[in-house]
Amino acid sequence: METIHYDAIILGAGAAGLTAGIYLSRAKLKTLIINEGSVGGQMILTHAVANYPGVLETSGRDISLIMKQQAKSFGCDIESNVEITKFDLSSKKKMFEIDDDEIFTSDVVIIATGGKPRKIGAINEEKFKGMGISYCATCDGDFYTDKNVIVIGGGNSALEEAVSLTKWVKSITIIHQFNEFQASEIAIEQAKNNNKISFIMESEVKEFLGSESVEGVRIENQQTGEISNLKTDGVFIYVGYTPNTDRFKGIINISSRDEILSDENMQTNIDSVFVAGDVRKKKYRQITTAVSDGAIAALSAIEYLQK
Ligand SMILES: Cc1cc2nc3c(=O)[nH]c(=O)nc-3n(C[C@H](O)[C@H](O)[C@H](O)COP(=O)(O)OP(=O)(O)OC[C@H]3O[C@@H](n4cnc5c(N)ncnc54)[C@H](O)[C@@H]3O)c2cc1C
Mean of per-residue pLDDT scores for the chain: 96
- Which residue type sits at 275? V
> 264 pLDDT exceeds 80?
yes
Residue 234 beta carbon below 6 angstroms from any ligand 1 atom:
no
Note whether 302 and 114 are within 8 A (CB). no
Instruction: Give ∠ CA 218-150-115 in degrees, rounded to 5.
Output: 100
pLDDT attached to residue 266: 98
Assess whether pLDDT exceeds 80 at residue 47: no
Q: What is the pLDDT of residues 155-196, one digit of tens each?
A: 999 999 999 999 999 999 999 999 999 999 999 999 999 999
pLDDT over 80 (residue 75): yes
Assess whether pLDDT exceeds 90 at residue 48.
no
Out of 46, 83, 237, 254, give the residue to mutate to test ligand 1, the one with the largest number of ligand atoms within 8 Å of its CB: 46
All structural domains of the chain = 3-116+241-306 (3.50.50.60), 119-237 (3.50.50.60)
> For residue 202, what pLDDT band results from cuts at 50, 70 and 90?
very high
Is the shortest distance between the CB of 15 and ligand 1 below 6 Å? yes
Q: What digits encode the pLDDT tens for the residues 16-27?
A: 999 999 999 999
Q: What is the mean pLDDT of residues 31-59?
A: 91
Q: With a 6 A CB cut-off, is 280 part of the ligand 1 pocket?
A: no
Query: What are the distances in angstroms from CA 97 to CA 1, 75, 101?
Result: 10, 21, 7
pLDDT higher than 90, residue 225: yes
Catalytic: which of 88, 99, 139, 142?
Answer: 139
Q: Is 113 in the pocket of ligand 1 (CB under 6 A)?
A: yes
Q: Which one of the listed residues 7, 140, 278, 293 is annotated catalytic?
A: 140
d(CA 61, CA 43): 6
